[in-house]
Amino acid sequence: MSNQRPGRQVETDSAGTPVGEGDLVAPVYFQTCRSCEFCRRGEFYACENDYEHTGNSPEVWPHFHAPWGTHYYIHPNHHFYRLPDALETHRSIAAAANCALSQVMFGIGEVGVEYNETVVIQGAGGLGLNATVVASEYGAETIVVDSVDGRLEQARAFGADHVVDMDEYDSVDARADRVRELTDGTGADVGIEVAGVPAAFVEGIELVRKDGRYLEMGNVRPGYDVGFDPGRLTRKSIDITTAVEYDPRTLADALDFLENTVEDYPCDQLIDAEFPLAEVESVLEASENRDLTRATLVPPGEQPS
Ligand SMILES: [Zn+2]
């Protein structure tokens, strides 16, 4: 591929779009080595060397491995895409496309959401809001489940047709009944777990109809057990799929999707605020204390908006 050549010889992004000095680009946050067993099969999201350079010390060439810095080195095995011109004024939103939006688009592609299907989305955080927009744009009827008032309001602003407040429907049975009520008594065609809580997986099986499909995406850290009744799953004939990382080409689709939808949703709500890079320490501290949820750092020479 053309982007395997170093530095100035790179003339196009990973989609073949011409790039030049000064263009804004978005890289996939992991690499695909193209030589491991999984890359050879085309299963790039399962690359065994995906984080080869992540976390390297700044002492190690080519030095710029971390996202919080004035420079970021895009390795030959990193896919990257030129930002569409329309996104130049939405850089902070575009900067997050390589994570939440790409992940959600890939996952939804894997579970296969079709026009007019009902989709129940568990969790209205960043992944959940992105999933709501994508499923809505694909023509699905969306039901978002969460317990935080502000998040449910946001979910509505991001296209949710229905919201289920976990405080109002305060048991799994109550929520399953409510979802059935909203889906002609059957349960949702598709369930998407983006709450990141093990219990949500168990509950999800109750929210999806017989012969439905379920996407597990929010629980990404091993080591958390939960009681689960496999017989329920079998009896309901539910197909389960998972998604972690994504096919790198999904980022190109995500940027295109964002270009077409960014004005239709209050996407700026996904960003708390922009800060100069010099404030990185206090911003990280505030994020850890949950005083900030989605801060954006702006490099020197550019003004936070
Ligand atoms: Zn690989």
Q: What is the pLDDT of residues 57-70, one digit of tens each?
A: 989 998 998 878 88
Residue 17 inside a domain? The answer is yes
Beta carbons of 111 and 215 less than 8 angstroms apart = yes
Over residues 243-288, the pLDDT tens digits come to 999 999 999 999 999 999 999 999 888 877 788 999 999 998 988 8
Strand partners of residue 145: 122, 164
Reduced to 3 states (helix: H, G, I; strand: E, B; else coil), residue 80 is: strand
Residue 302 has pLDDT above 80, yes or no: no
**Mean pLDDT across the chain:** 92
Residues 177 and 275 in one domain: no
| Burial group, residue 50, by CB count within 10 angstroms (0-12, 13-18, 19+) | buried
Residues 6+ apart with CB under 8 A from 249: 14, 15, 79
- Residue 150 C-alpha to ligand 1 middle, in angstroms? 40
Residues 122 and 233 in one domain: yes
Residues 228 and 265 in one domain: no
Pairing of strands 141-146, 118-122: parallel
Strand partners of residue 296: 274
Reduced to 3 states (helix: H, G, I; strand: E, B; else coil), residue 216 is: strand
- Residue 235 C-alpha to ligand 1 middle, in angstroms? 37
- Residue 298 C-alpha to ligand 1 middle, in angstroms? 32
- Residue 215 C-alpha to ligand 1 middle, in angstroms? 24
The CATH number assigned to the domain holding 282 equals 3.90.180.10
Torsion of CA 300, 253, 129, 298, to 10 degrees: 0
Tally of structural domains, the chain: 2
Residues 216 and 139 in one domain: yes
- Residue 34 C-alpha to ligand 1 middle, in angstroms? 5
Residues 123 and 238 in one domain: yes
User: Which of residues 220, 242, 264 is at a domain's end?
Assistant: 242
Residues 143 and 204 in one domain: yes
- Residue 29 C-alpha to ligand 1 middle, in angstroms? 14
Residues 171 and 51 in one domain: no
- Residue 6 C-alpha to ligand 1 middle, in angstroms? 20
Overall average pLDDT of the 95-114 stretch: 95
Residue 192 has pLDDT above 90, yes or no: yes
Residue 30 inside a domain? The answer is yes
Residues 6+ apart with CB under 8 A from 49: 31, 33, 36, 77
- Residue 244 C-alpha to ligand 1 middle, in angstroms? 15
The CATH number assigned to the domain holding 199 equals 3.40.50.720
Peptide bond connecting 67 to the previous residue in cis, omega within 30 degrees of 0: no
- Residue 21 C-alpha to ligand 1 middle, in angstroms? 29
Residue 304 inside a domain? The answer is no
Q: Which of 52-56, 97-101, 115-119 has the lowest mean pLDDT?
A: 52-56
* Better-predicted residue by pLDDT, 83 or 267: 83
Residues 264 and 163 in one domain: no
- Residue 45 C-alpha to ligand 1 middle, in angstroms? 8
- Residue 297 C-alpha to ligand 1 middle, in angstroms? 30
- Residue 51 C-alpha to ligand 1 middle, in angstroms? 10
- Residue 43 C-alpha to ligand 1 middle, in angstroms? 8
Strand partners of residue 293: none
Residues 6+ apart with CB under 8 A from 133: 158, 159, 261, 265
- Residue 216 C-alpha to ligand 1 middle, in angstroms? 23
Residues 269 and 190 in one domain: no
Overall average pLDDT of the 219-233 stretch: 95
Residue 87 inside a domain? The answer is yes
User: Which of residues 242, 258, 282 is at a domain's end?
Assistant: 242
- Residue 25 C-alpha to ligand 1 middle, in angstroms? 22
Strand partners of residue 142: 119
List Cα–Cα distances, 63 to 22, 98, 157, 283, in angstroms.
21, 22, 41, 23
Residues 260 and 236 in one domain: no
- Residue 31 C-alpha to ligand 1 middle, in angstroms? 8
- Residue 233 C-alpha to ligand 1 middle, in angstroms? 33
- Residue 4 C-alpha to ligand 1 middle, in angstroms? 15
Residues 166 and 279 in one domain: no
Overall average pLDDT of the 137-166 stretch: 96
95-109 per-residue burial string, b: 16 or more CB within 10 A, e: under 16: bbbbbbbbbbbbbbb
Beta carbons of 142 and 132 less than 8 angstroms apart = yes
pTM, entire model? 0.92
- Residue 48 C-alpha to ligand 1 middle, in angstroms? 5
Residue 200 inside a domain? The answer is yes
Residue 168 belongs to domain spanning: 113-242
Residue 106 inside a domain? The answer is no
Beta carbons of 141 and 161 less than 8 angstroms apart = yes
Matching residue, tokens 């939440």: 100
Q: Give the model's pLDDT for residue 5.
A: 52
Matching residue, tokens 């502000």: 150
Residue 68 inside a domain? The answer is yes
Tell me the CB-side half-sphere exposure of residue 245, using CA atoms within 13 A: 16
* Better-predicted residue by pLDDT, 156 or 91: 156
